[in-house]
Amino acid sequence: MENQLILDVQGLKKSFGKVQALTDVNLQLHRGEVLGFIGPNGAGKSTTIRVILGLIKESGGSATVFGEDAWKDSVKIHKNLAYVPGDVYLWPNLTGGQTIDMLLHMSGQTHTAKTDELIKEFKLDTSKKNRTYSKGNRQKIALIAAFSTDVDLYIFDEPTSGLDPLNELIFQQRVAELKDHGKSVLLSSHILSEVEKMCDTIAIIREGKVIETGSLESMQHLTRNVVAITTASPMDGLDKAKGVHQLNFKNDQHTIAEFTVDSDEIGAVMDLLTKSSIVQLKTTPPTLEDLFLRYYHSDAGQKVGE
């Protein structure tokens, strides 16, 4: 049960005319898992999701959801799936409340107490016409409808790009709640802190290709801790130590410094620093941001750690 594969994307390719949007996308999402799907704008996140949703047809490889083909069996799959697009566009003449009810009805669901609770929590005025809503409010409508839909798979495509921090927090709590109930979630984002907080597994996509998949911990060995340190005596030999980068001494005595260190060399570097008697030490664990920047600042094809 624990390892049941909900979503399986293998070697997915998609081209629009001559443009190759996706060249090699591999994703696996298991039951009860939250998969973060990150990459810069235009990397192919939304295109991948649109293939998974059966909105567009793959040009190569395969995408299966609940073991069914994403394109051929889309109607069957959609009975058990909720989706929130990155840009929510809604029929201008409907009110927010009508839209939520309609989206629920279309999935064979009904307006429940949970729906009301969500409307209250997101502070949405459901009596207004969709054309008068801002981007964030339209997003709230789609989110409320999705969260009050009881299905097995939830797909969010950059769902919080129009939300304020307070609503973002509600979103995070609601995703955690889904996870607690054994639901599976695919969350695409370029807001890294969001993915970092919520996701068990992360897939990084770049130029139509998934270049790294794994848990955040398993990726941290690839990156560096930021160290800020003050010592009693000068830190001799630090500039020659293995795994130390971007060293910057803050005074002439070389007793205050800031640098980054490869995660797998941190022990050896600490041993070296102890000899200079540490007065103050602050290390910051790598954020996804750092990880991300290293990937996208490196040349195409060059993988981290190589």
Contact residues: other proteins, CB under 8 A: 16, 46, 50, 53-57, 74-76, 78-79, 81, 83, 85, 87-98, 101-103, 105-108, 111, 126-129, 131-132, 142
Nearest distance in Å: CB 79, other proteins: 4
Ordered DSSP codes for 132-194 = G--HHHHHHHHHHHHHTS--SEEEEESTTTT--HHHHHHHHHHHHHHHHTT-EEEEEES-HHH
Q: Are 272 and 237 in contact (CB under 8 A)?
A: yes
Reading across the β-sheet that carries 60-65, which strands appear in turn? 68-69, 60-65, 5-16, 19-30, 209-215, 201-206, 34-38, 184-189, 153-157, 81-84
Cβ proximity to other proteins, 91 vs 277, nearer residue:
91
Residues present in the chain in total: 306
Nearest distance in Å: CB 11, other proteins: 19
DSSP code, position 295: H
DSSP code, position 286: P
Q: Token match 């102890």: residue? A: 274
Cβ proximity to other proteins, 87 vs 264, nearer residue:
87
Q: Token match 């909720």: residue? A: 82
